[in-house]
Amino acid sequence: MDYFLFSVAAIIAVVSAVLVIVQRNPMHSALYLIITLLCIAVLYLQLSAQFVAAVQVIVYAGAIMVLFLFVLMLLDQENPIDTPSTLRYQNPVAAVMGLLLLVELLFLSARAQPPAVLTSGAPGSSPGFPGSVESVAESMFTRYLFPFELTSVLLLIGMVGVIVLAKRKL
Amino acid sequence: MTLTGIAEFIASFFGLPGSSSVWIVAVLAAAILLGFMLLTVLILIYVLRKLLGKIQARLGPTRTGPKGIFQTAADALKLLIKEDTIPVKADRRVFIVAPILVFVPAYLVYVVVPFGEGNHFIAKDLNIGLLYIVAVSSINVIGVVLAGWASENKYSLLGGMRSAAQLISYEVPQALAVLGPVMLAESLSMQDIVKAQGEGLFSWFIFRSLPLLGFIVFLVASMAEINHVPFDLPEGESELVAGFNVEYSGMRFAFFMLAEFAASFTICAIAATLFLGGWHSPIRGFLDNGWWTVFWFFLKSSALVCLLMWIRATYPRVRVDQLMEFGWKLMIPLALFNVLVVGLYVALGKGG
Amino acid sequence: MIAVHHYIFLSAALFAVGIYGVIARRNAVGVLMSIELMLNAVNINLLAFARYVTPTTLTGQVFAVFVITVAAAEVAVGLALVINVYRNMDHINVDDINLMKW
């Protein structure tokens, strides 16, 4: 059953990821990206990372994708100017690079001799609900407090930068 | 008879393996919730029209059935058999997906609403319950924005833009206001939050630590989230015709309506759960078990629903700039202040 | 039975698709979306290894949250840049943003 769920979510995720790339209309790309992100959230749930799954939906679906849609509406890309690319070799090169990377990654991870821990199924749920909000919060606010503070500073810098960039008159 | 029992019966009746009963339970629960959702919406629309009529010194619907009780059913039937038009210039794919993206989150929220005591009255008591609600309800923004964009209509585009700004701005105070009960109950599970308020009226989270503030911030922010009246800018009839859903008709329009009314019930239910003691009775130990808990829950949530309807009848619509200023300059600071005070309350209470 | 391999294959596929998109797409917003795909591929890996290798410490999950935060900041700044470019050049075609080229 788990395997079935995983395969469905993974296949939908990859297919809609491909559709994100090949769509002409950026609005449709955004729609398929949303599907990919939701499928990935399902996979997170399977990895017993409930908190990260919730954060994925809240941040990606609730904030990032809305930002994308908002900007796309603002730029009014309904009639994308279909100028021929100035860099003609770009598409084939990109395809080759992408495929090469994929083959390389698959080859390496298939050839590697992983320790037995990795090839067996997921270890049973360990004590203290891994992935529950409490346990994530505990490690985030104790061991990883400094990176946590750094991300908050990063967000502040990002906010200031966005306001400077996007506001016409300060 | 519990749902599991019914599911096992069905499984054995059709000769399915025992492991499939989990899935039958899920399907049954989903069907029950869907039926319940449709029922609440039917009742809600009727009560709304009657109540608005009373407040505005009118009669409301009177013709269909005794006192007009079949009016909503008739309207629903009309919507279902109406022609479902898609504008020629609209983006078909997005136009079709948008109502679904609005409807499904409104429906999914019902999963974690605790209608009463114990596991019979909640579809699934998730350990990230409240986070689940915030996550699921953040999806419907996308549906509204896409509906506005796909219709290829200036009014609906404006409505979509407005709703993107509005829903994103008010998601922040809503999520922050929710933190108060979470900190007091030290859990995100809805049943745990209700259980932490079991000591009668004054243990309800609305009266604990900083009275009323968190509740008011939550209710106002949620009203903005579901485009309820003082904040119904995305669809404001008098300025944007009907905003993001101008071009929708028939079934698809019905989806938007359903989602809107279902959401106005769920936010009242969630507000009752988080701040008004959920299914607990106001007096400790008084009729506080079994089906009575369902009664208390619906009493509280319908009181809140009526409050929302009263507000709908009373206040004029705010302007866009007022909306943004109100959200960012008042609601968010207040919500942060609430979090600070509740945090101090909890920390000091623990320390001694 | 799902082993860690499956997750790695999935994330490799997503990452490759993302890198193709970053190179091939000419719409700046499309490029940003492809970057999102790549970040998500990384996150899948982080969570899968956190689940299979260190099921008791939650390092992977914590860092996945950090990655999501960074992604949010990145998208905000990126889209602000896109808006600025659009204001100045009336398009967001990354191939034609070559004013600084001599």
- Determine which of C17, C49, C86 to mutate to test the interface with A (most A C-beta atoms within 10 Å): C17
Chains A & C: contacts with CB separation below 8 Å = 244
Chain B residue with the nearest C-alpha to that of A72: B149
Q: Has residue B8 been placed in a domain?
A: no
Q: Residue B269 corresponds to which tokens in the numbers above?
A: 């239910």
Rg from Cα positions in chain B: 21
With a CB cutoff of 8 Å and minimum separation 6, the contacts of A145 are none
Nearest CA in chain B to A76: B149
- DSSP conformational letter for C96: G
Residue B182 lies in a domain: yes
* B97 → closest Cβ in A31, A58, A73: A31
Considering Cα of B87, then B103, then A33, then A61, what sign does the dihedral take?
A: positive
Pair B315, B214 in one domain:
yes
Chain A contact for C45, CB < 8 A?
no
Residue B328 is predicted with a pLDDT of: 87
Q: In this structure, which topology does domain A1-76 adopt according to CATH?
A: Four Helix Bundle (Hemerythrin (Met), subunit A) (1.20.120)
Q: In this complex, which of C19, C29, C73 lies closest to A101 when CB atoms are compared?
A: C19
Do B37 and B102 lie in a common domain? no
Mean of the per-residue pLDDT values of chain B: 81
Of B19, B91, B164, the CB nearest to A70: B164
Strand partners, C27: C93
Q: Does B149 touch chain A (CB under 8 A)?
A: yes
- Please report residues of B whose CB lies closer than 8 A to that of A80: none
| Same domain (yes/no): B60, B99 | no
For B266, left (φ over 0), alpha (ψ -120 to 50), or beta?
alpha
pLDDT band of C102, cuts 50, 70, 90: low
For residue A113, what pLDDT is reported? 65
CB–CB of B99/B160 below 8 Å?
A: no
Same structural domain for residues B59 and B88? no
Residue type, B268: C
Cβ-based contacts of B91 with chain A (< 8 Å): 25, 27
C65/C43 Cα distance (integer angstroms): 9
State whether A70 and B165 contact (CB < 8 Å).
Answer: yes
Identify whether residues B183 and B41 lie together within a single domain: no
Range with the poorest average pLDDT among A78-87, A140-149, B72-81, B244-253 = A78-87
In a domain, B10, yes or no: no
| Nearest CB to A73; choose among B132, B161, B168 | B161
Does residue B99 share a domain with residue B55?
no
User: Residues B66, B101: one domain?
Assistant: no
Residue B282 has pLDDT above 80, yes or no: no
The string of pLDDT tens digits covering residues B96-120 is 888 888 888 888 888 888 887 777 7
Is residue B236 domain-shared with residue B97, that is, in the same domain?
yes
- Domain final residue, candidates B81, B114, B141: B81
> Residue B275: inside a domain, yes or no?
yes
Structural domain span for residue B62? 33-81
The verdict on B51 and B147 lying in the same domain is no
Q: Which residue of B lies nearest to A45 if distances are taken between CA atoms?
A: B128
* Sign of the C-alpha dihedral computed for residues A101, A102, A105 and A111 taken in this order: negative
Q: Is B106 inside a domain boundary?
A: yes
Average per-residue pLDDT in chain C? 83
CA angle B237, B238, B241 (to 5 degrees): 50
Q: Does B248 touch chain A (CB under 8 A)?
A: no
Cα distances (Å, whole numbers) of residue B59 to B51, B110, C84: 9, 32, 55
| A23 within 8 A of A77, measured Cβ to Cβ | no
The total of other beta-carbon atoms located within 10 Å of residue B19's CB is 9
The CA–CA distances, whole Å, from B40 to B43, B72, B111, B293, B298 equal: 5, 12, 15, 18, 11
pLDDT at A127: 43
The Cα–Cα gap between B68 and B91 comes to: 39
CB C16 within 8 A of CB A102: yes
Cα A20 versus chain centre, distance: 12
If one compares B287 and A39, the residue with the highest pLDDT of the two is A39
With CB atoms and an 8 Å threshold, state whether A123 touches C21.
no
| Same domain membership, residue B182 and residue B92 | yes
Among residues B56, B81, B106, the one where a domain terminates is B81
What does the pLDDT profile of chain A (170 residues) look like in tens digits? 677 888 888 889 889 988 888 877 788 888 889 889 989 988 888 888 888 888 888 888 888 888 888 888 877 655 555 555 566 677 777 788 888 888 887 777 777 666 655 555 555 544 445 557 777 888 888 888 898 899 999 999 998 988 888 887 76
Is B254 part of any domain?
yes
The answer to whether A67 and C76 have CB atoms below 8 angstroms apart is yes
Q: Do chains C and B touch (3 or more CB pairs under 8 A)?
A: no
B162 shares its domain with B37: no
Comparing alpha-carbon positions, the chain A residue that sits nearest to C83 is A166
The domain ranges of chain A are 1-76, 132-170
CA atoms of A54 and A49, how far apart (whole Å): 9
**Number of structural domains chain B divides into:** 2
Q: Which residues of B touch A42 (CB under 8 A)?
A: none
Question: How sure is the predictor about B294, in pLDDT bands with cuts at 50, 70 and 90?
Answer: confident
Q: What is the ipTM of this complex?
A: 0.86
Amino acid at A73: M
pLDDT at B245: 76
**Collapsing DSSP states into helix, strand and coil, what is residue A42?**
helix
Helix (H, G, I), strand (E, B) or coil at B1: coil
Average of per-residue pLDDT across B211-217: 84
Average pLDDT over residues B277-297: 78
CA atoms of B173 and B217, how far apart (whole Å) = 7
| Residue B122 confidence class, pLDDT cut points 50, 70, 90 | confident
Average pLDDT of B304-326?
85
* pLDDT at B117 (0 to 100): 78
Contact B308, B271 (CB under 8 A): no
pLDDT digits (tens, 9 = 90+) for B7-56: 777 777 777 776 677 777 778 888 888 888 888 888 888 888 888 888 88
The dihedral region occupied by B277, where left means phi > 0, alpha psi between -120 and 50, and beta the remainder, is left
Residues B60 and B97 in one domain: no
Is residue B188 within 8 angstroms of chain A, CB to CB? yes
Helices (H), chain B: 3-13, 21-55, 71-81, 92-108, 129-137, 140-150, 154-185, 190-195, 213-225, 237-240, 250-275, 291-314, 320-325, 332-351
